[in-house]
Amino acid sequence: MKISEAFSGNYLKATDLPQPRVLSMAAVTVETIGEEKSSKPVLRFHGEQRGLVLNKVNSMEIAGWFGDDTAAWTGQPVELYSTTTFFSGRQVPCIRVRRPAMQHPVQYHLPAPTQQYVPAPQQMQAPQPQQVAAPLQAPNIPYEA
């Protein structure tokens, strides 16, 4: 048994993500968090018991993809991954979000060519001699010292 699993809590932590995970967003709720009893937005996911307490960085990233209205986020995929950030002068683990890579890249089907392209033969031309301008000469002005 892992002791971290015994006290998992209601919210995801960076240690819960040893590998990135793609989850489908269900809703954003406002919940009272921590001892200071502050209200924070919490992102809930389909099929996941714990939510992600949204910080400003992650909130603005998702809003940049799907808009400011969190109702438009419902059903959209998001990839969560663990990394680190600086907090109070030291490096601490955190969770960040990114758009998941496409599972099935778009394939373009171009129509088959109807004729085979054959370039026209080119005739080689001998280089033509170029006329060179005579060098400029200074006017004949007498110099007096």
Beta bridge partners of 27: 44
The answer to whether residue 46 is domain-embedded is: yes
Looking at the structure of the chain, the number of domains it has is 1
CA distance 60 to 41: 12
**How many C-beta atoms lie closer than 10 Å to residue 66's C-beta?**
17
Beta bridge partners of 78: 23
The answer to whether residue 139 is domain-embedded is: no
Residue 97 has pLDDT above 90, yes or no: yes
The answer to whether residue 34 is domain-embedded is: yes
The answer to whether residue 103 is domain-embedded is: no
The DSSP output letter for 141 is -
Beta strands at 90-98 and 38-45: parallel, antiparallel or unpaired: unpaired
CA distance 28 to 51: 9
The answer to whether residue 72 is domain-embedded is: yes
Can you tell me which residue has the tokens 């683990």? 93
% of the chain surpassing 90 pLDDT: 57
The answer to whether residue 79 is domain-embedded is: yes
pLDDT at 9: 79
Can you tell me which residue has the tokens 């419902």? 74
pLDDT at 10: 87
CA distance 114 to 128: 40
Tens digits of residue pLDDT in 38-74: 899 999 999 999 999 999 999 999 999 999 999 999 9
The answer to whether residue 22 is domain-embedded is: yes
Segments forming the whole domain that contains residue 93: 3-98
Summarize the confidence of residues 119-145 as an average pLDDT: 63
The answer to whether residue 60 is domain-embedded is: yes
Beta bridge partners of 118: none
